[in-house]
Structure formats: structure tokens, C-alpha cells
Amino acid sequence: MSPVTYALLIANIAIFGLESALGDAVVQNFALWPVGAGFEPWQIVSSAFLHANLTHLGSNMFGLWMFGRQVEAALGSARFLLLYLLSVLTASAAQLAVCSALGELQPTLGASGGLFGVLAAFALLFPRQRIILLFPPIPMPARVFVLLYAAFELFSGVAGTQSGVAHFAHLGGLIGGGLLLWFWRSRGSLAAYN
């Protein structure tokens, strides 16, 4: 049983329904806008429950379902929720910093920051567990998958490929989740898995 994972899935789907019904006003008020371009403090968290379209929602929720259940089972529900929320916060902080540095004025939305924190935790908790991608269908250990994914996100962010994707928010979530898990391990409060 993974109550927090399922609660996050339900919340994201329900909020997407509201977002679809209410239209642009939701994005205007609850997406993460750059400082000076509509930013409000609550957007740091609220933006993680909004999605651009069904594909965006589906890919994030599939990833959360795939990895969240196992991470929540290993950490417990309270720690899993803390990991997810901290990852959302570090993703938002990274995105705000990049938008400020580059002068970008576009809003950010999506659960990817939280998902990337969960991915970091998965790779640290289960480094040897095999993951098989849908495309290309190549099996690889979780730690290799996450390192390659992080390298791709960094390259894409620096090179400016895939316009409209918040690569640095993804990396911010990954770093936040990874650092929190490392902190818990350094205090001896987490067991190592394989």
C-alpha cells in the first residue's frame, strides 16, 4: 500500500480536471511565474499540481506510479511526502533562479520536479534494480538510468533543446531528493537496499 503516492496521483488528476474546466485563470494564478512577472509564493507548490495537457499529466503520473510506490514502501509515507515536497521546492527554486538569470517570462507547471526527486531516491535506494525503457528497450541499472537522464537534462538545458521543458527544474528536484536521501543515510536512519 502506498497511500501518499496514490493521494498524489488522485490530486494531480483531479486538479487537471479543474484546470481543464476553469481554463487560463488557473495557470495565471497557480503556475510558477518568474519573479517580477506574476510570481506569488504559493506557486512554488501549486505549480507542481498543474499540467499542460494529458500527455504531460500522463507521463508524470506514470513515472510517479512506477517509482513512487517502491520509494514510499522503503521510506515510509511521512518521509516519502517530505522527500516529494522538498523536491518540488528545490525544483521551483532552480527554475526561478534560471528564469531570473536568463530573463525568461514563461510560467512553469508540472509534477516533474517532485518526480525527479523520487527518481533520485529510487536510484540511491535500489541502485542495481533493472529498469527497461519503453524506447529504446534497453535494460539498465537504476543508478545508470538516473545518471544518464540527469546528463541528458543538463545537456538539454544548457544547449536549449526541447523548448518549453523546464530542464533545470528537473535537475533541481533530482538534487533536492538526492540530497535529502543522502542526509538521512548519513545520520544512519535509512537502510541500504540493492
Which residues are annotated as catalytic?
A: 112, 170
Cα separation, 4 vs 8, in Å, equals 6
Cα separation, 45 vs 11, in Å, equals 13
Cα separation, 20 vs 4, in Å, equals 24
Cα separation, 27 vs 125, in Å, equals 35
Torsion region of 110: left, alpha or beta (phi above 0 gives left; psi -120 to 50 gives alpha): left
Cα separation, 185 vs 194, in Å, equals 14
The number of C-alpha atoms within 13 Å of 40 and in the hemisphere containing its C-beta is 10
Sign of the torsion formed by the C-alpha atoms of 62, 67, 72 and 78: negative
Please state whether the peptide bond connecting residue 141 to the residue before it is cis, i.e. omega within 30 degrees of 0: no
